[in-house]
Structure 1
């Protein structure tokens, strides 16, 4: 389980006990699968692991097959420790696309142009999807600030789309690679 998934689970449980399905639904409402790369299958494993570590306690078990988890004081402290680390620690964004850029010189011009055009199309589609989702999460009970993750993601998608367009022009003009 990633540290991102860990803090998201702990954060969802700040408001009170929930069973795994409700934790998952809260993360889905936030769009965490998209911007935080949360694998929903890892949530149940994460809940059990954090219960074993004493960060969560099981307050109800077995009723209709649902286990209800609650944050312990240690879990609350771990959440805030991790949260403050995320606010103050700058880490590089790991993007596999940068690996592709590193080796763009290994592709012939038509292949590289096709890859850039295809990526620009995919980015445009992702932008449209993100822009449609912006503002809609409140209808499902999400707090307003959840849209800020979308707004940040939209900005990053715009930046990458602009880079692709400029790079394609440079490749076309034989300025790259």
Structure 2
């Protein structure tokens, strides 16, 4: 069985690639920006931070305490963490999987990649979806030619409709990136992260 992607860890790496932060800030940012694919908060967040620190993808840089509040450890991403973030994110963007939540997560974090890398990953995804659709259409035709009633192929028809819709959306996103219509400066950056945290 394939290992499920660590979406919480990916999100932590993406946020720490913008600026160092402590778990409470990261938790607030996830909630305030509706990263709803991150489940099991706050426990999943603390487990992800522990795991990433153990893999030396993030490191603690400061511990502080204000008044009676518990100590807060600030983490920052390492160079290896940046490389791992880019690799994981490109992989999730490039490969259409069975779980759409994973692609939602990848798209929500796409702004941490340079435009050329994001574009290349999306082009690879579009090509993979087109290949899958060709195979699925061939399979549906063979079943139909074999006399299988339409009602027994309805789930395959549904899967085809979802894939066609995703392909159209990905191609539209590619066009927006290629034309420069999509403003990359509005993605997660230090100013945006600090503004969201200040408003909470």
Relative contact order higher in (CA < 8 Å, ≥ 6 apart): 2
Instruction: Using structure 2 for the length normalisation, give the TM-score.
Output: 0.44
Instruction: Using structure 1 for the length normalisation, give the TM-score.
Output: 0.49
